[in-house]
């Protein structure tokens, strides 16, 4: 039984989403992600995979998410991982640690799959990020709590409806945010950048399955 489950998990990683020439569809939500986009900082980035955020034991779908990276810089920084399979990368803690060094521009694009209030989204991010920015201070990245307070203010909207996009780009230690098409002021905070991406890529991700599938296209990105 264990072997069967392992094979099924490997198959899911090998084909994580339906792809066309220009988009990749997250399979559970049917949300389409462009294979490339301009990050909230204006950089051009490519998709490495998608995932789904659910809540409660009923697995209520909240939003789909996709990870994008600066292709050239990622290929240089992660050259030692070139040639590895999606399964190998997804099972390598050191690979995620390398991503979380934030040494090249990365973007997380979220697409809402249900309606929530701005306050609900703000509280959800605060709950996930607050302990992480505290941890970041212990890693030599102070000032995260003040940056998080500013970030929370970016959700001062009445409602985030199904299909609303949120785009978060970290580049050079600054977080660039676009919420429902509204470009927000950049927040210079390595602590907040690390905390935000640790939510999805760290040791305790909010979506363990998404942590694996969001890197499934990396082998193509890293191919010389």
Instruction: Give the pLDDT confidence score for residue 20 in this predicted structure.
Output: 58
Helices 118-138 and 190-201 pack at an angle, to 10 degrees, of 110
In tens, the pLDDT along 161-184 reads: 999 999 999 999 999 999 999 999
**Sign of the four-CA dihedral 85, 88, 94, 99:** positive
DSSP sequence for the chain: -HHHHHHHHHHHHHS-SEE-SSEEEETTTTEEEESEEE-TTS-EEEEEEEEEEEETTTTEEEEEEEEEE-HHHHHHHTGGGTT--HHHHHT-HHHHHHHTT--S-EEEEEEESS-EEHHHHHHHHHHHHHHHHHHHHHTT---HHHHHHHHHGGG-SSEE-TT-EEEEEEETTEEEEEETTEEPPPEE-HHHHHHHHHHHHSSS-S-HHHHHHTTTTHHHHH--
d(CA 29, CA 7) in angstroms, rounded, equals 23
pLDDT the model gives residue 19: 53
Beta bridge partners of 37: 45
Residues 6+ apart with CB under 8 A from 205: 199, 211
Burial class (CB in 10 A: 0-12, 13-18, 19+), 123: middle
Q: What is the pLDDT along the chain (224 residues), one digit of tens a residue?
A: 333 333 333 333 433 455 556 999 999 999 999 999 988 888 899 999 999 999 876 689 999 999 999 999 999 999 999 999 999 999 999 999 999 999 999 999 999 999 999 999 999 999 999 999 999 999 999 999 999 999 999 998 899 999 999 999 999 999 999 999 999 999 999 999 999 999 999 999 999 999 999 999 999 999 98
Can you give the pTM of this predicted structure? 0.90
Please give the CATH number for the structural domain made up of 2-222: 3.50.70.10
Q: Which among 201, 157, 211 is positioned nearest to 179, based on CA atoms?
A: 157
Query: C-alpha 79: how far from its chain's center?
Result: 21
Q: How far is CA 38 from CA 11, 46, 48, 51, in A?
A: 30, 9, 14, 20
* Cα dihedral value 124, 126, 130, 131, nearest 10: -10
| Measured distance CA(172)–CA(222) in Å, rounded | 21
């Amino acid at each position: 039984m264990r072997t069967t489950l392992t094979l099924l998990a490997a198959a899911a990683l090998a084909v994580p989403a339906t792809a066309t020439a220009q988009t990749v569809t997250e399979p559970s939500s049917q949300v389409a992600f462009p294979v490339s986009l301009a990050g909230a900082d204006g950089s051009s980035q490519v998709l490495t995979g998608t995932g789904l955020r659910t809540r409660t034991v009923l697995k209520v779908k909240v939003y789909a998410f996709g990870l994008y990276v600066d292709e050239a810089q990622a290929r240089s920084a992660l050259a030692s991982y070139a040639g590895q399979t999606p399964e190998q990368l997804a099972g390598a803690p050191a690979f995620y640690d390398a991503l979380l060094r934030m040494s090249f521009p990365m973007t997380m694009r979220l697409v809402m799959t249900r309606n929530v209030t701005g306050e609900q989204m703000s509280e959800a991010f605060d709950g996930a990020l607050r302990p992480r920015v505290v941890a970041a201070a212990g890693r030599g990245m102070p000032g995260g709590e003040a940056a998080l307070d500013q970030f929370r203010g970016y959700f001062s909207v009445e409602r985030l409806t199904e299909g609303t996009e949120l785009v978060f780009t970290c580049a050079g230690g600054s977080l660039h945010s676009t919420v429902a098409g509204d470009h927000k002021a950049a927040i210079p905070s390595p602590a907040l950048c690390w905390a935000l991406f640790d939510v999805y890529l760290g040791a305790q991700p909010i979506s363990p399955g998404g942590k694996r599938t969001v890197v499934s296209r990396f082998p193509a990105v890293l191919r010389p």
